[in-house]
């Protein structure tokens, strides 16, 4: 049985979600992980999307927060202001699942620009609801591919203040230490700690208690591939 690095990352992220909790989901890697969790060990996971879809149960990965499959399969659809003002900001959502273009060692997120703000090399999609999700959910998990470009010593712009409990990448898992700096605590099968250190733009600390992720099961891979 073989799998890709993205599949391992998605499986690891899905395992971080508990059944019966509510999850504010970002499109892309976070959405894949959340839908995999609901299709496997967490059938009662409540998926909430920024477009106002609460309890969405798509049988394929949505292309955007405006994908009709989210509204068609949701328990209810409310307005965007209601999602933020009634559900998110009062702390009613358990987990925020986010992606990022850049991260720093404290989990601050950039999804705005690469380069100078006034004359950027790349203009990114922007904040959307990420700043509110990053600060108002009870817990925050970031899912992102690890590279020196993405894991930056200094962010070009801080879109969302960092307070995630976990960063899950295609190489392993990072958690904050007592100072709030993210430390490598787990590597995926076939990955060595040195690879994660080399793919990080700051001197990445490695936990002395480093563990290894359990490989994906056949059921997890079948469920994930069935969502594509």
Percent of the chain clearing pLDDT 90 (strictly above)? 92
Q: Which pLDDT score, from 0 to 100, does residue 101 have?
A: 92
Is residue 1's pLDDT more than 80?
A: no
DSSP 216: P
Q: Which of 50, 72, 218, 220 is flagged as catalytic?
A: 50
CA angle 140, 144, 148 (to 5 degrees): 125
Residue ranges covered by each domain of the chain: 5-227
Is residue 207's pLDDT more than 90?
A: yes
| Per-residue pLDDT reduced to its tens digit, 10-22 | 999 999 999 999 9
Backbone phi, psi, residue 176, to 5°: -75, 145
Is residue 4's pLDDT more than 90?
A: yes
Q: Which pLDDT score, from 0 to 100, does residue 228 have?
A: 82
Is position 192 annotated as part of the catalytic site?
no
What is the per-residue burial (b if ≥16 Cβ within 10 Å, else e) of 16-25? bbeeebbbbb
| Per-residue pLDDT reduced to its tens digit, 114-171 | 999 999 999 998 888 889 999 999 999 999 999 999 999 999 999 999 889 999 999 9
Residue of higher predicted confidence among 228 and 96 = 96
CATH class entry, domain 5-227: alpha beta
């Amino acid at each position: 049985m073989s799998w890709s690095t993205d599949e391992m990352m998605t499986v690891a992220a899905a395992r971080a979600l508990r059944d019966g909790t509510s999850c504010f989901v970002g499109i892309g890697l976070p959405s894949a992980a959340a839908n995999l969790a609901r299709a496997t060990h967490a059938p009662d996971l409540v998926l909430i999307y920024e477009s106002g879809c609460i309890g969405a149960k798509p049988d394929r990965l949505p292309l955007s927060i405006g994908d009709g499959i989210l509204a068609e399969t949701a328990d209810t659809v409310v307005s965007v202001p209601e999602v933020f003002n009634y559900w998110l900001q009062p702390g009613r959502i358990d987990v925020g699942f986010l992606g990022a273009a850049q991260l720093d060692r404290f989990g601050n997120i950039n999804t705005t620009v690469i380069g100078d703000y006034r004359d950027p090399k790349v203009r990114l999609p922007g904040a959307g609801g990420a700043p509110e999700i990053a600060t108002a959910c009870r817990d925050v998990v970031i899912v992102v591919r690890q590279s020196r470009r993405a894991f930056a010593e200094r962010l070009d712009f801080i879109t969302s203040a960092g307070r995630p409990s976990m960063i899950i990448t295609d190489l392993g898992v990072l958690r904050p230490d007592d100072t709030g700096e993210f430390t490598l605590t787990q590597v995926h099968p076939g990955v060595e700690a040195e690879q994660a250190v080399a793919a990080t733009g700051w001197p990445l600390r490695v936990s002395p208690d480093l563990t290894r992720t359990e490989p994906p099961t056949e059921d997890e891979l079948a469920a994930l591939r069935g969502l594509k």
